[in-house]
Every structure is written in C-alpha cells, then in structure tokens.
Structure 1
C-alpha cells in the first residue's frame, strides 16, 4: 500500500498535518490506534499561556523571544518566532475550513470559563462557550447555571459560587429534570455527556427543555449548561437559544467531551472530503529503516503487508496514547527507537506536589530544527515528529499543547510539500 505520506496518530497534530498535505494534493493515510486525546479535551486550544519561569503570558506572539531564551529546545524556539506567527494564523484558517466556529486571536489570549466557574487563559475557543477578555467581564450581570439532574460530572452550584467570587455576577445554580433522560439516568454508567447529547439533540425534546429552562432561569440574562448538547452540529443549541429567548452557553464537562469530539469529527470529515484515508483502530508496530530512511511500516491490522510512503510523520502522542513508553530502564519511543529527551534517574521524573510542573511532561522525541526525528543523533531524512510525542515543553504548565501540535503540523506539511515539489 503506497501513499505520499503516512501519518502515525489521529490526534490534533496528526489530523492537521494530514489535512494540510491533502489540501496540497498529497495522498495521505492516517493510522489511528483509538480515541485521540481530543475526546478528553475542553474544545479550546492553547497557544502560550505561561513562560517556563511561571510568568503569565497575555500576548503569545510577543512572548516568543523570551520563550526562546528560557527554553531553546521548545518546538516554537526550533521553528522560529516569525514562522510561529505565520503558522498560527494559518492554523486558525485551517480550522475554519474544517467548519469549526471559533473565537480568539494569536495576538492576545482570552479567558474561557471552566466547569468550576473559574477562568483559564487560552487562544481559540468554540463560540458556544462563555469567554471574557483578559481584563474584562462577562457581558451579562446575571447568569443561571443549570446542571442536569443525576449528571454528576457537573455541579452547577459550585460553578455559580465561583462565578460570584471571580466576576461578581449574580448567579443561581439549579438542576434540569427531563423525563426523556430517565432511561439513561437509571444506568449511571450510561449517564454521560455524549449519551445525554444524543437524547437532548432530538427535536421532540426541544419544547420540554425550553419550558424547564425558562422556569429555572427566571430573570437571568443568560444560561450556562454543561456541554451535553450539539453532538454533531450547533443546530440544537441555536434552536434552544431562539426558543428560550436568551443566550445559552456550554461549559465543558469531564471526558468524554462533546466539544472535543466535535473538534475531532470536524477534522476527520475534512480529511476524508479531501480524499485522505483514515485507518481507525490500527497501530504501527515496527518499521523498516534503510540508509537513514523509513522504507516500510507494519501495522497490527495489515500484518506483513507494509505501508510505504515517501514521507512519514510521527504524531503518536505521549504516554497517554503509548507514543512514549516508560520502562524500568527509561523512556523510549517504541516504533522507530528514536532518541528521547528524558532523565536517567526515575526519582527525577516527577514531583511530589501534584500541582507543580512535572518533569516527565517535557520528555519526548528529539528533533532537529526541521522537526525531523533523531535516531542515534542523526536525523532520519523522511521521518518527522510533531505534537505530544516531541519533547522540550510542558503543555500543561506552559499552556501550549494545542499550539505546538497545530503549528508543528503545518510546519512539517509545508516542508514536505515544498520538498516533493522540487525537481
């Protein structure tokens, strides 16, 4: 099976890279082992929220020079500030072409409202969730935060109390009860955001939900609900807002995340519209390497039939998705045996303070400035590494995980397209 490019990993980095290549006419295949980390995300995308020394970042692009000084091996530092600025614009445009309706700018972060009613700095957010400027407030003076009776992954009173303390808005917390959810409610293992959304998205449930929300919201100017609505599209939320007659916003819930699933589905749909091949439930087990080039990939589902490509992109994720594996002997990349940035002493991998930056989050595959993966200190000429499998940054403490994935993906896609276009 021959392709122009095989991408290993169906998360944000892998899908964005494949889409970027497919838009330039490349025949791409994405090998995806299972649910990507997007299913566990809030749906918002971070660019850079904090420097390694803990300094908060208001303007991500303006902070890149200081980031390069503090973290020269950060992917942004390897790519270069001018290139990061250009690619972050292009990433937002790519997401728009995927049909995603997002708010935000790479010039200045905004604050999204979390399920706890606190605020967190980010780059791009779905337009369905409530946000504020960094120094601004919500556009409403009173908000009704309404949970779903029996849904334990979202506590409306907790969020309402936090909003009072953080923003000074008048809030009230309450619970929504709909008989249509009774069957799910009787089975706690099924009473999750995705399954609730499948029920609430049905047109016949709009009127009962509208009536109950009107009663619970009272004179509140806006309504905040857990993100258990709009699994496939925004139409159910748009219809609900029109029926209720006031803004309705969604707050992310614990995984699986409806907003994260929407993001992944939009990326997959765009890839397949462009003719890309998506191989779900498969994983690359080993590779043939000859003279510094990857010549064949062997997957679980294809057995001894290799996937062959001119270029290969490794976007297999970190420990969460087994893109990196931690053994007693150390941390390794399991498919190609690539060089990995880590620490020799296991005691140095983590800190006892759960909320402190954890060193292991910066472990990952070593790359050169073109993001080609290194093996025994030498770059494999047709293997690139992007996203969470790479090292040199802390996606949580620095608030840059999605940006590293998207910018690295487009950086590599454009390099491959330029290289393939040369005589």
Structure 2
C-alpha cells in the first residue's frame, strides 16, 4: 500500500498531523494500536501553565519565549517561539473545522473547572464546559449541582466545597430516567458513556430537560455532569433551549464524553478528507535504506507493507507504549530510535508522587527539524510528534496537549515544504 505520509499513532498528535496533511491534499494513513489518551480528556487543551522553574504563566505565547531560555531542549524551544505562536493560532481553527468547538486565546490563559470543582489554567476549552476568566471567581452566586441517581463518577460535595470558598451558594439535586435501570443493575456499567447513550434518544433528552427545569428554580446556574452528547452534536443546545437557567457541564472521571467526542470528530474529519485509518493494528518492523524509512510492516497486514515518502512517529510515551522502560534504559520499540534518559534507574524518579519526575521528560531524540535520530544520525523522512518527544514535563508545565498540537502542525509544515 502506497501513501504520501504514514502516521504511526492515532492520538491527538497523530490525528492533527494527518488532518493538516490531508487538508493540503496528501494521501495519508494512520496506523493506531488502540484508543488514545484523548479519551481521558477533561474538555480542555493546555498550551503552557507553568515554566520549568515553576513560575505560573498567564500569557502562553510570551511564556514560550521565556521557557526556551530555561530549557533549550523543550519541544517548544526546538520548534521556536515564532513558529509556536503561529501554530497556536492555527490549532483552534483546525479543531473547529473538525467539529471540536473550542474557545480560548493563546495570549491569555483562562480557567476551567475540574471534576473536583477546582480552577485550572488552560488554553482552549470545548464549548459548554464551565470556565472562568479569573481564578477564584465564578460567574454566579447560587447554583444547583445536579447528578444522576447512583452515578459515582461525579462528586457534588467536593464541587460544592470549592464553590463555597468562592462565596457561591450550592444546593444539590438528582435526576433519573427509567431507561437507566438496566445499566444501574451493574455498577461497572453506570459510566458516563453508557448514560450518554440513553440520553442520545430524543424522548429521553426531553424528559431530562423537564427534570432540569424543575431543579433550576431559584438558581443562577445548573451544574451538570458531562453525560450527554455522545453521538449527537445538539444535546446541550437542546437542553439550553428548554431550560431558562444557564446549564454548564463539568467533566467526569474517564472515560470522558468530551474526550470521546473529540476523538470521534477528529477521526471523522480525517476520513472525510480521504485519509485511511487503521484501528487495532500495530507496527512490527520497519525497513530503512540509505538513511530513509522505506516501508513498515504491521500485525494485521502481514507481508503487505505500508510505503510512503514520509513517516511520522506519534506513538506517545509510556502510557501508550510508545516508550518502553527496561531495567537500565528507555527503548523506542518501532524504529529503535535514539532516546534521551538519565543514566541510572535511581535517577528516573523520586518516591514523592507529586514531585517533578525525571522520567516524564524522557523521549525520542530528534534533530532541530523534529526528525528522528538513530545511531546518532537523523532519518531523513521520519519525524516525531507528540508525547514521545523528549525534554518536557507535561504535568508540571501543563503543556501536554499543546506539545501534541504544535509539534504535529510543525511536522506537517515541514513535510509539506519538503
């Protein structure tokens, strides 16, 4: 099978790169081993929340210029501040074209409300999810926090405790529906995705709007868990048109509806542009000649190779097995790429869970153009994008989604120029 570009990995970086290339007319394939970490998304995409030294960032674009001085090996520093700023302007438009409606500004972080009611700085948030422009200041004074009877992945008491600290008066309400009884019999089935399938039905969504209308009396806003809109785009608009009180969604524990919706939208966009998506397949080996990757072979296609002018490694980090830790080294399992990691295993981590862990910055070694290094030399047509890159701490720096989006767009730009 012959393509212009083959992308290995179907997460945020892989899908973004594939969509951008397909929009430019390339015939692309994505080989994805399984569902990606997007399914754990809370509805927001971070660009930069803290510098490596821990300083909080309010203007991510300005922060990237400072970050490059503190950490020259960070992917943003490798891409360059000017290119990062340009890609940060392109990414929201790409997401919107794919049917992921986001709002935000790369020059000013806003604050999303987490599943526990806390505020967290972020760059882009999917429409409908509760945000505020100032930390510690919510845009209402009396709310009803509504939950489904028996739903354990949403925590009204914790949310109310945080809201009370911001002088917001909270009361609780429950809603139910007879069609939920079947999944309620098994606690492991009472999850957001299964509940959302129930409320995808028009009659059930209408019944939900009536329950929320009653709960909203005397409140400035309704806070509802994100258990609607799995397979329909208009669920929130439908409810808002029938309930006078503003409705705001809060994400739940994974699997999360906003993450699943984003993944589905990106896949649909890629396929609509002519891309071929191979889900449930894994790359077993690659053949290289004269410093170029010529073809890869996958588990499902046996001796039928994937051939392309360019390849993109977007397999992620340890969570998705894009990187594998042995007792003494870090391995990239597809191409045997050079990796960046600390010398001894005792240096990889600390016993304090919330410390800045060294292993989070381990990853694939690349050159200045994000081409993958192997045996000290760059493979001419193999690029790396996303969480598998080295040199950054996605949790402490709050930049994981941003690195995936911006590196994917940068790689796509280089492929198109070359």
TM bracket (short chain):
over 0.9
1:114 maps to which residue?
114
1:301 maps to which residue?
300
Structure 2 residue ranges without an equivalent (≥5) = none
Cα contact 1:58–1:134 (8 A) shared by 2: no
Cα contact 2:216–2:245 (8 A) shared by 1: no
1:30-57 Cα offsets, whole Å, 9 max, x none, are 0000001101111210000000111000
Tell me how far apart the structure 2 counterparts of residues 274 and 177 of structure 1 sit (CA, whole Å): 40
Alignment of 1:197-236 (within 5 A): 197-236=196-235
Residue 370 (1) aligns with residue 369 (2): yes
Tell me how far apart the structure 2 counterparts of residues 169 and 366 of structure 1 sit (CA, whole Å): 49
| Matched residues, number | 418
1:201-225 Cα offsets, whole Å, 9 max, x none, are 2111133222322333331111111
Alignment of 1:31-50 (within 5 A): 31-50=31-50
Q: TM-score, normalised by structure 2?
A: 0.98
Cα contact 1:313–1:384 (8 A) shared by 2: yes
Q: Tell me how far 1:373 sits from its aligned partner.
A: 0.6
More displaced stretch, 185-194 vs 211-220: 211-220
Tell me how far apart the structure 1 counterparts of residues 123 and 232 of structure 2 sit (CA, whole Å): 22
2:191 maps to which residue?
192
SS at match of 1:240: helix
Cα contact 1:156–1:174 (8 A) shared by 2: no
Tell me how far apart the structure 1 counterparts of residues 36 and 253 of structure 2 sit (CA, whole Å): 15
1:226-253 Cα offsets, whole Å, 9 max, x none, are 1110112331211111112121111111
Residue 330 (1) aligns with residue 329 (2): yes
SS at match of 2:333: coil
1:44-90 Cα offsets, whole Å, 9 max, x none, are 10000000111000000111221011110001000111110001101
Structure 1 residue ranges without an equivalent (≥5) = none
More displaced stretch, 103-112 vs 232-241: 232-241
Q: Tell me how far 1:293 sits from its aligned partner.
A: 0.7
Alignment of 1:161-310 (within 5 A): 161-165=161-165, 167-310=166-309
Q: Tell me how far 1:189 sits from its aligned partner.
A: 1.6
Cα contact 2:221–2:247 (8 A) shared by 1: yes
Tell me how far apart the structure 1 counterparts of residues 59 and 96 of structure 2 sit (CA, whole Å): 22
1:388 maps to which residue?
387
Q: Alignment RMSD, CA only? A: 1.2
Runs of 4+ in 1 over 6 A off after TM superposition: none
Q: TM-score, normalised by structure 1?
A: 0.97
